[in-house]
Structure 1
Amino acid sequence: MENQPEIIQTALSYLAQGWDLAQEWLLSPAAWSQFALLVVAFLAALWVSRKLRDPLTRWLTPAEDNDSIFAKARRFLAQFVPLLFPLLAYAFTDVGENITRSIFGSGAVIAFGNRVILFIAVRILVKEVVQDPLFKTIGKYFLIPIAALYALGLMGFVTAQLDATIVPLGNLSFSLLFLVRFLIIGGVIFWLGRWSNAQSTAMIQKQEDMRPAMRELATKASEIAIFGVAFLLLMNIMGISLTSLAVLGGAIGVGLGFGLQKIASNFISGVILLLEGQATVGDYVELDGGEAGTIVKMTARAAILETFDGRWIVVPNEDFITTRVVNFSDSGSANRYEAPFSVSYDTDINKVPDIIEAAVAKLDFVLDDPDGPDCELRGFGDSGIDFAVEFWVNGIDDGKNKFTPKVLFAIWNALKDNDIEIPYPHRVVEIKGSLPSDA
């Protein structure tokens, strides 16, 4: 044994201790009684959890259209119903441990069972309760192994080894134990932060008396506040002094001044847009660069436009401030368009405006307010007389709502019904000289 490596000697010593503990439990009436109580507690918890799970799930699941604060709290608690079995098992084994300690003065077997129950609870939490992919990964590779080490009684040894392993980082250094704690505590805090942010966002979006731009600004402000508090709470729990982050803050400031100035500019431009409300979610806009579409989302860095063919265009917020932007929805939902057409020179053009205006006014989407259809003479073309009818509609004439083609159909039918000819180009060919005669 003296010639073996230290790690092998340590492993053999733990095996020897485990064998002695197993012999002690196998030959002890107290150990057998604790094991019996542990089995009874497990079976009782399994039976009770199966009886309570369905009624509890139904009680904690409100109607889909119920969005009250109590309904949201019930839905949140319903996520933890899979933990009912380990919680009941832990409670029953705790009662059994108190009984065995009062009779035999020992409860090591039940204490071990409690640790196993805790491992089962952590596994259920990661597998069935946590839905976020990031936190599920953290739980799978950090939380479950830690619970397994605790259940086997190796937590103290592993903790000491992690605490003794120092990771240098420039002038700073930290232990692997600190890193593991930071990941676990940070994951829990920011998971709660994301849940709180989702609830606050849903509540703000329901405030219909607020302008859409103010709702977006309030949503961003609450998000910054929630995650700011989460960050400060994490720093306080981990014992990290905020003054130690002064150097990092200075480096970030320099980065913003040089490499990240565009990001800072877009962020500030986004705040200005939300405050002024000149462009917000739901508006149809056209930028100076040719980008056009409906704003479906506004982030801290950019606005996302959806075109009529379903494509998304990411436009930096700065472009809304520094370039010309046409907002078709800013002053109201009504917009004016025109449909050009031509008639033959043989037509009595004095009758055309009344005929076209009457035909277009019959269309159900054409508005009378702020003005009805207006047919105007535009000029005398090479092949015919040019007209155009102006009309107002409630919406945007885009790929989803093509108003102009329907107006052109109405113009075509009205002209045909009144025997008015729609011209097409004519060409006069003049041939100089005589035509060749057939031989």
Structure 2
Amino acid sequence: MEQEEEIVEPILTLREQIEGLLFELVDFGQSLLQPWRLYQVAIIACLVVVALAVTWILRPRIEGWLRSREGWPKWRLRLAVHLRKRIPLFVFVILAWLTVAVMREVTWPSRSYLISLTATIAFAWLLVGLAAWFLQNRFLRRLVMWVLWIYVTVYYLGLTTAVGKVMENIAIEMGDFRISSLDVLRALVITGVLFALARFASKTTASKVQKNEDISPSMRVLVVKFLQVILYGAAFFIGLKAIGADLTGLAVLSGAIGVGLGFGLQKVVSNLVSGVIILLDKSIKPGDVISLGETFGWIQSLGARYVSVVTRDGKEYLIPNEDLITGQVVNWSHTNAFVRLDIFFGIAYGDDPHQVRKIAIDAAKSVNRVLSFRPPVCHIVGFGDSSVDYILRFWIDDPTGGLTNIRGNVYLALWDAFQEHGISIPFPQREVRMLDDGDTAGDMAKD
């Protein structure tokens, strides 16, 4: 029986606290039935209707004004949209405080108490909504907003102690470990705020690092990633420490998890380490033009697990970092952006090869992207069945502009130059002889 009483006692205590909280809410509701409280409730309802009407009038004009702000930065447009959603609450707060100011001049302060309390809570809601703009994650933003809205409401209603005791008794216990719903709520709020601050500091620092021309592009990415890991890791552990969590057990648990992840996520870990190596040795950086297998394009961004490569046709390939470390990669702009291109063509045997070489070189020089300080060269590479075969080599310094298009432009310049000088480009020809029935029969008789 003693053991049963020990189990039942916390349940009774929790029940008593919930009943006490309900009694306080009932008392507050009954206090609203007083004449002057009913008048204040009616005034609050009228203020809500007026705020909605004013919002209905202002919203189309504000939306039209926002649509004309096309040149604004993305963060400013996002802030403007965030403020637009809170126009009703903003209008209600202004009207409520104006009403309280007028009523305190013409009557006793107690007869505007309920309106003042509602205005204070609405103003706190407005501040919470504005502060939530710093949280980019939609789920986290909504969670923090609702938790803080409930907290400020309970705080100004004077129910903080009663609600806190109830939530403290709603807990999970396993041996010496005990975590209550209040601890979970506190952890969510503190961690959310810390993550918001970490993200703000990360974005601010990242923008300054990206603008620093003294740091190489790959080192900028490495510095930004390192700062993000430090800031978000610090926010996570500070949030746990703020609610009194024992980090010693977490360290042991994280070590065991790390060993398991090392075996189960070898590819992921390999890609992460390969990404760090790529950033440190500076072999690949954003803006480089690379070829990997059949993929040719320029690097858009370096991620922790993969590299984003965009091709000329707009396709974006996410190549694992490990493939760039272990595979053969052609970096067209590693040490410099000079690229030599070769094209082949054939000319008839009746044309002078010396003249052909000169015309081909001049035609290549006339193309815009072909470098003049590294002049093109043209050589004979063989005598074919129906043509003399040539190779034309030229240099460019902007591979990001494409390779196929520059080859096409040089071929077109060769065609125009050969047509102008009367040089023919041969092609294989076949002669087909049609035999009639008489000739066929004679041939068969001879056989």
TM above 0.5, yes or no, is yes
> Which of 383, 387, 393 is the equivalent residue of 1:384?
387
With over 3 angstroms needed to count, the CA separation of the structure-2 counterparts of 1:430 and 1:86, relative to structure 1, is: closer
With over 3 angstroms needed to count, the CA separation of the structure-2 counterparts of 1:385 and 1:17, relative to structure 1, is: closer
With over 3 angstroms needed to count, the CA separation of the structure-2 counterparts of 1:9 and 1:231, relative to structure 1, is: closer
For residue 392 of structure 1, report the CA deviation from its aligned partner: 1.0
With over 3 angstroms needed to count, the CA separation of the structure-2 counterparts of 1:145 and 1:384, relative to structure 1, is: same
1:336 and 1:391 in contact (8 A); partners too: yes
With over 3 angstroms needed to count, the CA separation of the structure-2 counterparts of 1:168 and 1:313, relative to structure 1, is: farther
State the match for 1:208 in structure 2. 213
State the match for 1:113 in structure 2. 118
> Which of 253, 274, 287 is the equivalent residue of 1:248?
253
State the match for 1:293 in structure 2. 297
Q: Distance in 2 between matches of 1:341 and 1:414?
A: 13
Q: Deviation string for 1:206-259 (max 9, x for gaps)?
A: 112321111111211221222232223212322223212122221232124311
For residue 334 of structure 1, report the CA deviation from its aligned partner: 2.2
Secondary structure, aligned partner of 1:244: helix
Q: Distance in 2 between matches of 1:112 and 1:310?
A: 58
Q: Distance in 1 between matches of 2:133 and 2:216?
A: 39
1:345 aligns with 2:367: no
Q: Distance in 2 between matches of 1:28 and 1:12?
A: 27
**Counterpart amino acid of 2:415?**
W
**Counterpart amino acid of 2:413?**
A
With over 3 angstroms needed to count, the CA separation of the structure-2 counterparts of 1:377 and 1:248, relative to structure 1, is: same
1:375 aligns with 2:378: yes
With over 3 angstroms needed to count, the CA separation of the structure-2 counterparts of 1:367 and 1:184, relative to structure 1, is: same
State the match for 1:405 in structure 2. 408
Q: Map of 1:279-358 to 2, 5 A cutoff?
A: 279-287=284-292, 289-358=293-362
Q: Distance in 2 between matches of 1:169 and 1:294?
A: 55
Q: Deviation string for 1:336-380 (max 9, x for gaps)?
A: 1012110112222121110111111111211013x1111111111
With over 3 angstroms needed to count, the CA separation of the structure-2 counterparts of 1:218 and 1:65, relative to structure 1, is: farther
1:272 aligns with 2:277: yes
More moved, 181-190 vs 422-431:
422-431
With over 3 angstroms needed to count, the CA separation of the structure-2 counterparts of 1:129 and 1:430, relative to structure 1, is: closer
Q: Map of 1:153-164 to 2, 5 A cutoff?
A: 153-164=158-169
For residue 418 of structure 1, report the CA deviation from its aligned partner: 1.3
Q: Distance in 1 between matches of 2:101 and 2:298?
A: 63
**Counterpart amino acid of 1:410?**
A
Aligned length: 416
Q: Map of 1:353-364 to 2, 5 A cutoff?
A: 353-364=357-368
Q: Deviation string for 1:82-106 (max 9, x for gaps)?
A: 697788899999999x99xx998x9
Higher helix share: 2
**Counterpart amino acid of 2:319?**
V
Q: Deviation string for 1:84-129 (max 9, x for gaps)?
A: 7788899999999x99xx998x997477436533553266438877
With over 3 angstroms needed to count, the CA separation of the structure-2 counterparts of 1:111 and 1:366, relative to structure 1, is: same
Aligned-pair RMSD on alpha carbons?
4.9
Secondary structure, aligned partner of 1:424: coil
State the match for 2:144 in structure 1. 139
More moved, 249-258 vs 382-391:
249-258
1:397 and 1:404 in contact (8 A); partners too: no
**Counterpart amino acid of 2:356?**
V
For residue 204 of structure 1, report the CA deviation from its aligned partner: 0.8
1:285 and 1:294 in contact (8 A); partners too: yes
Q: Distance in 2 between matches of 1:311 and 1:114?
A: 54
More moved, 79-88 vs 213-222:
79-88
2:134 and 2:200 in contact (8 A); partners too: no
Q: What residue ranges of structure 2 are gaps of 5+ in the alignment? A: 1-11, 52-70
Q: Distance in 1 between matches of 2:178 and 2:307?
A: 41
1:239 aligns with 2:275: no
For residue 398 of structure 1, report the CA deviation from its aligned partner: 6.9
TM-score by length of 2: 0.74
State the match for 2:419 in structure 1. 416
More moved, 18-27 vs 210-219:
18-27
2:96 and 2:115 in contact (8 A); partners too: no
Q: Distance in 2 between matches of 1:90 and 1:400?
A: 68
Q: Map of 1:39-58 to 2, 5 A cutoff?
A: none
1:86 and 1:120 in contact (8 A); partners too: no
Q: Distance in 2 between matches of 1:213 and 1:8?
A: 61
1:270 and 1:301 in contact (8 A); partners too: yes
Q: Distance in 1 between matches of 2:22 and 2:180?
A: 28
With over 3 angstroms needed to count, the CA separation of the structure-2 counterparts of 1:168 and 1:403, relative to structure 1, is: farther
For residue 151 of structure 1, report the CA deviation from its aligned partner: 5.2
> Which of 184, 193, 216 is the equivalent residue of 1:188?
193
**Counterpart amino acid of 1:231?**
F
Q: Distance in 2 between matches of 1:400 and 1:385?
A: 26
2:291 and 2:330 in contact (8 A); partners too: yes
Q: Distance in 1 between matches of 2:24 and 2:170?
A: 26
For residue 314 of structure 1, report the CA deviation from its aligned partner: 1.2
1:340 and 1:387 in contact (8 A); partners too: yes
1:126 and 1:139 in contact (8 A); partners too: no
1:122 and 1:144 in contact (8 A); partners too: no
More moved, 122-131 vs 372-381:
122-131
2:382 and 2:388 in contact (8 A); partners too: yes
**Counterpart amino acid of 2:231?**
I
For residue 156 of structure 1, report the CA deviation from its aligned partner: 3.9
For residue 299 of structure 1, report the CA deviation from its aligned partner: 0.8
Secondary structure, aligned partner of 1:292: strand
2:90 and 2:126 in contact (8 A); partners too: no
TM-score by length of 1: 0.75
**Counterpart amino acid of 2:355?**
K
Percent same amino acid among aligned pairs?
A: 31
Q: Distance in 2 between matches of 1:247 and 1:293?
A: 45
